[in-house]
Amino acid sequence: DAGVIQSPRHEVTEMGQEVTLRCKPISGHDYLFWYRQTMMRGLELLIYFNNNVPIDDSGMPEDRFSAKMPNASFSTLKIQPSEPRDSAVYFCASKGGGLKAGELFFGEGSRLTVL
């Protein structure tokens, strides 16, 4: 399996622009997670899905952030409008076999810079 695939790997945009990050989870995994990593706040869980349904979005910072999972093989995280404080590395991760303790598989991340 190719692992969790994220795109783009790097994105530089200007404040106010819309940003869309994409994720393809590992085939057969039924949980998908979006994390944000910054130096100041470390690794933060933004939202997670189970069988394409959002379960907990309490980590989404504000209404400018939205996430969707239209099918089992694709998810997006959108920021509109973007702000400089959104600059971070955004990770997608997936997990199979139910949520009972097990391994999360992470993508390589999307590094976002908002100028």
Interface positions with another protein (CB under 8 A): 4, 42-43, 45, 48, 55-56, 91, 93, 99-101, 103-104, 106-109
Q: Is 99 left (phi over 0), alpha (psi -120 to 50) or beta?
A: alpha
- Choose between 8 and 16: whose C-beta lies nearer to another protein: 8
Q: How far is the CB of 43 from another protein (least distance, A)?
A: 5
- Choose between 15 and 104: whose C-beta lies nearer to another protein: 104
Q: Tell me how far apart the alpha carbons of residues 86 and 61 are, in angstroms, rounded to a whole number.
A: 10
For 35, the token pair is 């994390």
